[in-house]
Structure 1
Amino acid sequence: MRQRLPARLNRRTVQPLALASAAAVVLAACSAGPKADSSSDLAADGGKNGGPAAIVVEPGADSEKVPVSRKVTVRAQGGSLSSVEVSSPGPGKLSGTWSKDKSVWTSSTPLAPGATYTVNAKGKASDGSPLTENASFTTEAAKNTFVGTYNPDKGAKVGVAMPVSITFNKPIHDKAAVEKKLKVTASPAVEGAWSWMKDRDGKDRIDYRPKEFWKSGTKVTLRMDLAGVDAGNGIYGTQQRVVNFTIGDAVTSTVDVVKKTMTVAKNGKTLRTLKVSTGKKDFETWNGTMVVLGKVPSIRMNSATVGIFGAEAYDMRSVKWDVQLTPSGTYAHAAPWNEGKFGRINASHGCIGMSTTDAKWFYDQVHLGDPVTVVNSTDTVAVNNGYGDWNVDWETWKKGSALN
């Protein structure tokens, strides 16, 4: 039977954060050296015609509600810079570029909204004397934000078919801008790609998967450097995330609906071949690869939640050893009411049923991210019905990137 789960399992929702973009500020800061008559006089003189050497920061010290569209500029007048650090406790450090003579540093990382940044700059005047400047400023708060929900969670150990998946709660109009700030690295390295889709609830979602299943023991890092990115239509966020996870044992399962068996292997070695009963006519089990989303020891399965009524209706209040494969309601579970049919007759409403003993054994073997591949059935599972990513050929998958 298929049962809709109210919410995807093992998913982490990050707090709402805002995103922004960057351009230039023209505000003067306190100088480290003697004061000229005015900051504009100092800027015009540049320390070249008898004026004092100094470091000038723009935006200036204690500036408030600085537009996130502006850039931070640090200039050594009458000298050069040796180090510049601009940081905020939440968004982190800004990157920047230097002029050829190292007299000017300009931020290249967009500012995040509603953040307080501190600037620490050091250098030296043309006569060799040291220059220092410290300043701080606060950016204006964003009026519209979006939230990213990502999976897997930090520190997780997952199966070889687990993609990196991020679902957004607001429409992403500038998908390329967002995708540019998402990065997945792996050790050992893999060939992989992002691909956009609509989640089952219509939300924008982007998944990253390697060309082939991950290798066991691979260490994976997701970096979300979204602070300052404008997702389009004035929707911003400040997400800065580093999410590390590890790939566990290669536990793979293959269900043959004609043979009515499920063969389970671990790291290439077959563990057991179980007798199963899959979907009957008009309720066939999805063909293709599904990925374990989670598991619960007992669940209520009511056919009304998946649109099955009348003579085929059912309401099972305590179905045991349930491994969820799709949000649309596909599970592998114990089905003692079909005893005598396992290995002989397909009699379910789309789920993979087996004896209670076999179901408990299977439940203990699999974890989040393990693949379950169904062969010789009909209607391949959709890419957004859970993690149907593996049912898309590699060339088509890559075309789903906004950067192609």
Structure 2
Amino acid sequence: MGWDRAGHGDTAGRPARRAVVRAMALTGVAVGGASACVKGSTAQADDDPTRRGGASRSPSAPVITIEPGGEAGAVAPGGRVTVRVDGGRLTEVTVRAEDTDSFAGELSRDESVWTSTALLGPGVRYTVSARAQGDGGRDAAESVEITTAEAGETFVGEYSPEKNSVVGVGMPVSIVFSKPIGDKAAVERGLSVTCEPGVEGAWHWMTHRDGRDRVDFRPKEFWRPGTRVTLRMSLSGVDNGDGLLGTQQRVVKFRIGDAVVTEVDVRNKTMTVTRNGEKLRAQPVLISAGKPGYDTWSGTMVVLGKVPDLRMDSSTVGIYGPEAYDIGHVKWDVQLTPSGTYTHAAPWNEGKFGRINYSHGCIGMSTADAQWFYDQVHLGDPVTVTGSAERTVDTNNGYGGWNVDWEAWKAGSALA
């Protein structure tokens, strides 16, 4: 997962003052960092009157105003950046800061005012740069540094999946918060998911297994292979409802890979794997699932990760006494839940695959079959278990949200 650490400090700050500067006409301005481009290109300045139809006097350069201004001192976090131009139109605005991906904003219809939709975070030094083209053709540019007051405590969200990852069709967007979220609606307004092609999707709040607040986003159905997804976390300056301010401006892009879907039939003790609708084996894989009293979770789980070798100690999942075990090298382990559900090689159950369910809740198979399955699946691939006597896996036990009815899932949004 991605985990951000940002600055801390105190919320006191002085009101922002306007910083109005008549910008000199330029031939170009170097800009970088997180950018909100309002036009694709910026015209070059031209001080030769003969190249403007023979005008005898050069027109004035436009005036750019940036609020809050650099002379305002440490401004209170939680406000917005506004850039205005008098006598022209804005062609580019950038807001840069350390550890900040992007600072979103909106341009007015006449292209004279840009207002950030993101809020200023606490204890951050921002550089705001703007370019404009005047009504007479001249260019102008202005840059201002804005420093915000620090806050005593802040909060961040630990997100998954990571930037630039390729994940399975069952992978939700999941964010676990470092502090309790009292105003879930305000925080949810700072989150957005867009994708190409578009889908119907919704956020759903829950309590993470460790007691922290968590919110997941999933589409109504599994993602379509090849979908490109963008998570935007505009949480800087957002109040969690208890006076704690968010610090993050994150843009997390990832892609959906092939539709690798697994169905485990506990009653028949088989496992079938398809990729993009095609079976990968003519015959199902023979498995041995959880025995009575240790039945495998029912419902859809999602691959959380995998390792080729793992020690399995039953004390870590609360199994002691005659049923206890401690196996040093379990091969080809694919994790499905934090509570300890894996698929893995179980050579000690040789002869039981396809015949008897004899595990403590995991899905065991031969070493060869376990390695084959390990090679097929990746983070976010769904695994659905049917025919088990165990209840449906909890929503927060990994990514169990696919077991929630769609209407109930949508109702879990703070904005529903």
TM-score after normalising by structure 2: 0.80
- Equivalent of 2:105, from 95, 101, 116? 95
Equivalent residue letter for 1:312: E
Alignment of 1:219-298 (within 5 A): 219-272=228-281, 273-298=284-309
Check 1:74–1:160 CA distance in 2 against 1; reply closer, same or farther (3 A cut): closer
Contact 1:158/1:247, CA 8 A, preserved across alignment: yes
Check 1:180–1:319 CA distance in 2 against 1; reply closer, same or farther (3 A cut): same
Deviation, 1:187, is 1.4
Aligned to 2:17: 27
Check 1:313–1:55 CA distance in 2 against 1; reply closer, same or farther (3 A cut): closer
Aligned to 1:214: 223
Length, aligned pairs only = 371
Residue 394, structure 1, aligned to residue 406, structure 2: yes
Aligned to 2:341: 330
Q: What is the DSSP-based 3-state SS (H/G/I as helix, E as strand, rest coil) of the residue aligned with 2:202?
A: strand
Residue 374, structure 1, aligned to residue 391, structure 2: no
Residue 14, structure 1, aligned to residue 4, structure 2: yes
% identity of equivalent residues: 57
Contact 2:191/2:233, CA 8 A, preserved across alignment: yes
Alpha-carbon distance in 2 for matches of 1:158, 1:131: 45
Q: What is the DSSP-based 3-state SS (H/G/I as helix, E as strand, rest coil) of the residue aligned with 1:311?
A: helix
Equivalent residue letter for 1:368: L
Alpha-carbon distance in 2 for matches of 1:315, 1:88: 52
Residue 351, structure 1, aligned to residue 359, structure 2: no
Deviation, 1:63, is 3.1
Aligned to 1:363: 374
Check 1:68–1:331 CA distance in 2 against 1; reply closer, same or farther (3 A cut): same
Q: What is the DSSP-based 3-state SS (H/G/I as helix, E as strand, rest coil) of the residue aligned with 1:228?
A: coil
Q: Which moved more, 1:263-272 or 1:326-335?
A: 263-272
Q: How large is the Cα RMSD of the aligned pairs?
A: 3.2
Q: Answer 1 or 2: higher relative contact order, Cα 8 Å, separation at least 6.
A: 1
Deviation, 1:161, is 0.6
Alpha-carbon distance in 2 for matches of 1:152, 1:71: 29
Equivalent residue letter for 2:369: D
Deviation, 1:156, is 1.1
Contact 2:10/2:149, CA 8 A, preserved across alignment: no
Contact 2:203/2:217, CA 8 A, preserved across alignment: yes
Contact 1:20/1:227, CA 8 A, preserved across alignment: no
Deviation, 1:72, is 4.8
Q: Which moved more, 1:216-225 or 1:320-329?
A: 216-225
- Equivalent of 1:320, from 331, 342, 347? 331
Alpha-carbon distance in 1 for matches of 2:366, 2:136: 86
Deviation, 1:82, is 3.6
Alignment of 1:59-70 (within 5 A): 59-70=68-79
Residues 320-357 of structure 1, C-alpha deviation per residue, up to 9 Å, x if partnerless? Answer: 11110000000001111111111111110000011111
Q: Which moved more, 1:93-102 or 1:361-370?
A: 93-102
Alpha-carbon distance in 1 for matches of 2:83, 2:371: 64
Aligned to 1:144: 153
Contact 1:32/1:132, CA 8 A, preserved across alignment: no
Deviation, 1:60, is 4.1
Deviation, 1:217, is 1.3
Check 1:399–1:134 CA distance in 2 against 1; reply closer, same or farther (3 A cut): same
Alpha-carbon distance in 2 for matches of 1:267, 1:126: 55
Check 1:85–1:379 CA distance in 2 against 1; reply closer, same or farther (3 A cut): same
Residue 310, structure 1, aligned to residue 300, structure 2: no
Check 1:238–1:316 CA distance in 2 against 1; reply closer, same or farther (3 A cut): same
Residues 112-152 of structure 1, C-alpha deviation per residue, up to 9 Å, x if partnerless? Answer: 22222345567899999998765433111222111211111
Deviation, 1:184, is 1.1
Alpha-carbon distance in 2 for matches of 1:258, 1:334: 20
Q: What is the DSSP-based 3-state SS (H/G/I as helix, E as strand, rest coil) of the residue aligned with 1:13?
A: coil
Equivalent residue letter for 1:338: N
Q: What is the DSSP-based 3-state SS (H/G/I as helix, E as strand, rest coil) of the residue aligned with 1:396?
A: helix
Structure 1: where are the runs of 5+ without partners?
1-10, 34-52
